[in-house]
């Protein structure tokens, strides 16, 4: 019987954002997505949500204000190119946030409550 590695079931994709450019809401028809979720997750099942985690790069990392970063996730209508936001949530470095109410889609990550602007590594694992 073949074995499946954990990384094949919930592999994360990491991208770097600069809080100086991701502190505001995206602009309809202009702002491009940070990431597009796949219709099928790494385990071969339909994507029904994702996990999100933030880590600090080794140099030039942003510093959160009290209570952690305020993260707002936006979903873009792929036809009209309009952005719609989920509720904001507080996320600190090393903390995991998850949602199970979204399938494939284009996402933009807004990061607020920043006391010192800089870089943040965002990891998203489709579930």
Between residues 124 and 49, the one the model is more confident about: 124
**Distance (Å, rounded) from C-alpha 80 to C-alpha 1?**
47
pLDDT for 125 equals 85
Look over the chain and give the mean of its residue pLDDT values, rounded to a whole number.
88
Domain count along the chain: 1
Encode pLDDT of 27-40 as tens digits.
Answer: 999 999 999 887 77
Asked whether residue 7 is domain-assigned, the answer is no
Question: Which pLDDT does position 9 carry in this prediction?
Answer: 58
12, pLDDT greater than 60: yes
Per the structure, the complete domain to which residue 29 belongs is given by: 12-126
Task: Say yes or no to pLDDT of 47 above 90.
Answer: no
pLDDT of residue 59: 96
Residue 122 is assigned to a structural domain of this protein: yes
CATH of the domain at 43: 2.60.120
């Amino acid at each position: 019987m073949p074995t499946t590695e954990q990384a094949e079931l919930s592999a994360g994709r990491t991208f770097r954002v600069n809080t100086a450019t991701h502190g505001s809401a995206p602009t309809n028809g202009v702002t491009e997505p940070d990431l597009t979720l796949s219709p099928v997750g790494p385990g071969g099942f339909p994507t029904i949500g994702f996990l999100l985690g933030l880590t600090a790069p080794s140099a030039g990392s942003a510093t959160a204000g009290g209570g952690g970063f305020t993260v707002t996730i936006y979903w873009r209508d792929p036809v009209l190119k309009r952005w719609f936001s989920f509720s904001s949530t507080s996320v600190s470095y090393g903390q995991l946030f998850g949602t199970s109410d979204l399938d494939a889609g284009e996402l933009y990550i807004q990061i607020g409550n920043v006391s010192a602007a800089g870089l943040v590594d965002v990891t998203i694992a489709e579930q």
